[in-house]
Structure 1
Amino acid sequence: MAGAPSEEKRVTWAELYFDLVFVFAVTQVSQLLHHHHDWTGVGQALVAFAPVYWCWVGTTVQANIRDVDSPRDRIGIFAVGLSGLFMALALPGAYGDRGALFGAGYWAARIVLFWLLWRVPGVWRGPYGVGAAVSGPLMLAGGLVDGPARELLWALGATCDLAAPFVFRRRLAKVVYHPAHLPERFGLFLLVALGESIVGIGAPLAAGRLHPAQLVSVATAFAISCALWWLYFGFASEAMRFAVETASSRRDMIRWVFSYGHLLLIAGVIAVAVGFGETVAEPGRALGVGTLGLLYGGCALYLLSFSYTRRMMFGVISPTRLAAAAVVLALLPLMVRLPALAALSALAAVLIGLNGLEHARVRRAARTPAAGPDRSEACLAPDLG
């Protein structure tokens, strides 16, 4: 296991302020997906979201391995935040006339992160060096061309960034991570995405007249959002913290469960949020395949991601969440001709039922004498799903 720091690291106020930029960025990604939610639009939104997410990940890891409560590091965090703000402003026209701004904002963020970490052994010649020297230039080059060439260059840049922690994993073995800080940070980003689901519920109805069916639709969609929150913070978050604290290779746990796993979780929540935005205002209208795909497909991705993270943490899958994802996908084609409220209600029933089942399993495991004093069992139980 990597050497453990002497005291627990907490999230700083500068990091929380930095997160506000990414609240806006997630909203902009949602808008991009809202306007184009066919397969091409989903692919474009994912390619645009990956660099935004990776800027946040890079800053979070930098804050984890350094003491960032200094003027230099605070200014560095705010500089990355400004770059992220430029990227967010560019997102609505990222595949139009704002591509260069998006690419330049990303490269600027990677250069700042490289400057902040170039003295840390095993880091600057790894993912941060790749970001400054390879993926950043690719993103800018993509912004300067049009059409499929832009998508190709951006996809290549995103792939380079996503692959870098795996390719340079030996160099990252020298880095000492604070185990409590990263689960808190990634949980906060998931909260940002869940906040977007609240916006998706309320924004379409805020300006117009309300009728009872819409209020029922709002309540049902909010129940879905609460159920998604509960699946993570009620059952999985402590298991993730326990896993990173006790891992024989902390860097691998951080890479697979947090850097990669949370990209899937957050992408799923954003898709659900966009689905809400096109559903709650007209509860009696049948939804199109695209909207159902976002709502049900995003939920299924969220559930399947837990099987992936649990496999990485403990070597087993999450059977109840895997089964729930299968039910969600099986229901999707049956919902095409039904009213939006029926689609929301069916999804809410599956998620609430899943939470109830997992709660019962956790209580049953807690009553088992063998699990009582054993901390590993106690932490495995919350992620039994």
Structure 2
Amino acid sequence: MNEESPAIPAPAEERHASWLELFFDLVAVAGVAQIAHLLHGEPGAADVGLYVLLFLAFWTAWICFTLYGNVAGEGTHTRTVLAAMFGMAVMAAAVPGVHAGEDGQARALALAYIVVRGLASGVWRNRREILVDWPAAQTSVGVIPWVVSLWAHEPARYWLWALGIALDLYVTFTVSARDIIENRRAHDRREEPRSRRRETVLPVSFATPDADHLGERLGLFVIIVLGEGVAQVIEAASDAPWNRRLYGLAAAAFFLLVALWSLSFRHGYAGVPHLTARSLPARAALPLHCFVSGCLAALAAGLGAAAEHLDTLPDSTRWLLCSSLAGYFLLTGVAALRQPADGRRRLLSVVLPCATAPLLIAGFGGGLGTVAVVWLLVAVTLWPTFYEGRRARRPGPDPRPEA
């Protein structure tokens, strides 16, 4: 008697970034490059402040649609994503004009940001899902200051933009899923005709991101930022005389970016060292990814500026290079502390030394040459790999009982 064997369920196919998502991420290349150019030359405090503000705005617009594509999957509306891409391209193109104080470009950037955030809020409203991990994507309170800024001038315009970003972060860390549901129900009751208005519970579901797919998209963003560092050095080197100093700087910059790549991907998750897929809630992991990416983009801009000053770095450029690397390591300490086994050891032995050493180089390295400064940063970045390797080679305790 032949019996049919029970069907074995096929393993779920591993999901990767779609062609549309990769096309969307190409906009990140243009945006990061334009924003990094704000730190060229000898950047001052105002340049750094504008860089931080625009990077946060650009990353916020990008993550809203990254999460939408992650949750929607095959149901992603292509036209909506393409419209958001166009809006982000307008934002990127307007960055130089904003830096130059042009009101027209500043209004264009603000309007494009408003449109992109409006599109993001609309797709979630239509899906009737609650994105618990990033509620700012579904709310519009952070967009209101950007709307007001259309009639403002600098510097008030920039303060309004900063207020909008701060409100988004406030919503992300304080608003709960229950608050979003109640607001959604109240909105639907207001929109419903009076004759049909009733107190029934409206169906709503919770959106849970695919951790592996999200990690891939976040990692792609960090790869784009590291690639921008290579592009910055290549662009500056193409206009500089090819001599020993340029060769030394090119080698040092390459080793520095490779060491950062190794820390971010071989010893981390989503481009953040010491982070794992579930060691931090997404509400904390996503801002951490944003800030780490911002430090790497600033470092990339500093490397490009270093290729323009092969003899000695200006003080502002040296501080930009060193403080961005220090910030990178300091932020990764948040992820290191989430490691239950040896988080404190890594913080004391790896994170704090690597965050302190660049600041010492920035403060006391005024007499050092450009190439020497970058090679010192390479040594700092290689320390975590050397330390972990040496610790792994240590012999453990002898399991044999004593005689």
- Corresponding residue to 1:255 among 277, 283, 292: 283
1:121 aligns with 2:129: yes
Question: 1:356 and 2:386 equivalent?
Answer: yes
Structure 1 residues 126 and 274, CA gap change in structure 2 (3 angstroms):
closer
Is 1:297 matched with 2:323?
Answer: yes
Structure 1 residue 161 corresponds to structure 2 residue 171: no
1:328 to 358, 364, 375: 358
2:390 maps to 1:341: no
1:151–1:362 CA distance, 2 compared to 1 (3 A): farther
Q: How does 1:65-214 map to 2 (within 5 A)?
A: 65-67=71-73, 69-70=74-75, 73-95=77-99, 96-97=101-102, 98-118=105-125, 119-123=127-131, 126-130=135-139, 133-171=140-178, 174-214=206-246
Stretch of structure 1 that moved more, 168-177 or 89-98: 168-177
Q: Distance in 2 between matches of 1:282 and 1:312?
A: 40
SS of residue matched to 1:350? helix
Q: Say whether the 8 Å CA contact 1:180–1:241 is kept in structure 2.
A: no
Matched ranges for 1:20-59 at <5 A: 20-34=26-40, 37-59=43-65
Give the drift of 1:208.
4.5
Report if the CA contact (8 A) 1:269-1:298 is conserved: yes
Normalised to the residue count of structure 1, the TM-score between the two structures is 0.84
Q: Of the two, which has the highest radius of gyration?
A: 2
Aligned-residue offset at 1:337? 1.8
Measured against aligned partners, the alpha-carbon deviations of 1:323-381 in whole angstroms (never above 9, x if no partner) come to 2111221222221121111111211122123322223335659x8999xxxxxxxxxxx
Matching residue within 311, 314, 317 for 1:288: 314
Residues 272, 126 of structure 1: alpha-carbon distance in 2 compared, 3 angstrom cutoff: closer
Aligned to 2:211, the other structure's residue is in SS state coil
Where 2:306 maps in the other structure, the secondary structure is coil
1:10: how far off?
2.2
Aligned to 1:12: 18
- Residue matched to 2:195: none
Counterparts of 2:377 and 2:219, CA distance in 1 = 23
Return closer, same or farther for 1:281/1:153 CA change in 2, 3 Å cut-off.
closer
Structure 1 282/237 Cα, relative in aligned 2: closer, same or farther at 3 Å?
Answer: same
Distance 2:272 2:249 in 1: 33
Distance 2:356 2:27 in 1: 35
> Does the CA-based 8 Å contact 1:197-1:273 persist in structure 2?
yes
For the 8 Å contact 1:240–1:313, the answer to whether it is kept is no
Distance, in Å, in 1 between the alignment partners of 2:141 and 2:306 is 41
**CA RMSD of the aligned region, Å?**
2.9
| Alpha carbons 2:42, 2:317 under 8 Å: kept | no
- Higher percent of residues as helix: 1
Equivalenced residues, count = 355
Change (3 A) 1:334 1:242: closer
Aligned partners of 2:216, 2:40: CA distance in 1, in Å?
Answer: 29
Contact 2:143/2:164 (8 A) holds in 1: yes
Structure 1 residues 137 and 208: CA distance shift in structure 2, 3 A = same
**Counterpart secondary structure, 2:207:** coil
Partner of 1:379: none
Q: Which stretch shows the higher mean deviation, 302-311 or 84-93? A: 302-311
Q: In the TM superposition, what is the alpha-carbon distance from 1:245 to its structure 2 partner?
A: 5.0
Q: Decide which of 256, 259, 277 is 2:304's aligned counterpart.
A: 277
Quote the offset at 1:260 in angstroms: 0.7
Q: Which amino acid aligns with 2:295?
A: G
| Secondary structure of 2:375's aligned partner | helix
SS for the counterpart of 2:53 is helix
Deviation at 1:140, TM superposition (A): 3.5
Alignment of 1:357-372 (within 5 A): 357-362=387-392
1:161 CA displacement: 1.7
- The offset of 1:309, in angstroms, is 2.2
Of stretches 19-28 and 29-38 in structure 1, the one that deviates more from structure 2 is 29-38
In structure 1, C-alpha distance between the alignment counterparts of 2:324 and 2:372, rounded to whole Å: 17
Aligned with 1:282: secondary structure?
coil
Tell me by how many angstroms 1:23 deviates: 0.4
Pairwise CA distance, 1:311: 2.8
CA distance in 2, matches of 1:16, 1:206: 29
Residue 183 of structure 2 is matched in structure 1 by none
- Counterpart-to-counterpart distance in 2, 1:233 and 1:254: 18
